[in-house]
Amino acid sequence: MNFKIIEYQTDEYQEMLALRTRILREPLGLIFTDEDIKMDKDDMLLGLILPEKQKMVACCILTRIDDKVVKMRQMAVDTDVQKSGLGTSMLSFAEYVAEREGFEKIVLHARKVAVDFYRKYDYKIIGDEFTEVGIPHFEMEKQIKMEKEKQQVIDEVSKYIDITLTPFGKPQRGVIDVEKRDPMYGGNGVVYMLSVFEKGELVNNRIGTYMVLLNKGDQAGFHEHGTKKEQELYVLVHGEGEYIEREGQDKITRKFNLKKGNVTSIQGDDNYHSIINTGDEPLIIFVVTTYEKA
């Protein structure tokens, strides 16, 4: 999966234009005019290329509004990879590029059918419904100051492991979202949750995600799963940590020094667990939280 900055009027630009035409214009009986194409000249043109398909499968454009605001437009995902997570990956890359370029807010005109997609990633509707290219739209916006930090976390983790999801029959993909917990359950330091699954994509699971404690002393604080009728597994992928079990509010019962390859499990009422990074490198854990049988 390769993200690219596309140069205007190159072969890659023509491929991008063909994708936009196929997905965004032809279903409406429209085409891009010469004036439409000229509007792209000074914008940031972003594309996502799948090597295994040897073609561009997603794209979008960032247009400067002022020093702090950029407009995202012409988001397109090829038909055969829609609902595969690649749209989310394209969106995340666009947010990263926008923040890297110094912008603090993204605005966009979302087709009514796409509003729920953007809402999942914290875009908010501003104003009333309006018509554009003959179909209903809403203007939406999002503050993006965290996106650079998120990309830095992904880049740091990538030094130690390759996070690639291979969903059956769908294109491979990487991290689609990063959530910062500062603190996490009252623990020390900062914990990052790196999602590779879309919300609701897993069967009978609440969570299947990477938990990253970048620095020595960072901690996922004590928490329990019995009240939610869950079982949680920690699979240590990289680094070292101290794993602590507690019964009730104050009775610490066991402590373990864990390393790569170790797995923990917890369930049941009034059982708590916590983990602390004790090494000099990031502690990276794959977390699986499943629901108990009814």
Range 85-106 average pLDDT: 91
**Sequence-separated (6 or more) residues with CB below 8 Å from residue 196:** 163, 165, 173, 174, 175, 176, 208, 209, 210
pLDDT digits (tens, 9 = 90+) for 243-268: 999 999 889 999 999 999 999 999 99
So what's the pLDDT on residue 154? 93
Token pair listed for 49: 């290329």
135 burial level (CB within 10 Å; 0-12, 13-18, 19+)? exposed
The pTM for the full model equals: 0.64
- Nearest alpha-carbon partner for 175 in 161, 187, 190, 189: 161
pLDDT digits (tens, 9 = 90+) for 216-237: 999 999 999 988 889 999 999 9
- Rg over alpha carbons for the chain, rounded to the nearest Å, is 22
So what's the pLDDT on residue 294? 65
| Sign, CA torsion 128/22/58/34 | negative
pLDDT digits (tens, 9 = 90+) for 142-198: 988 777 788 899 999 999 999 999 999 888 899 988 989 999 999 999 999 999 988
CB–CB of 275/239 below 8 Å? no
Percent of the chain with pLDDT over 70: 100
pLDDT band of 293, cuts 50, 70, 90: confident
Range 190-209 average pLDDT: 87
Quick one: which H or E segment has residue 90? helix 86-100
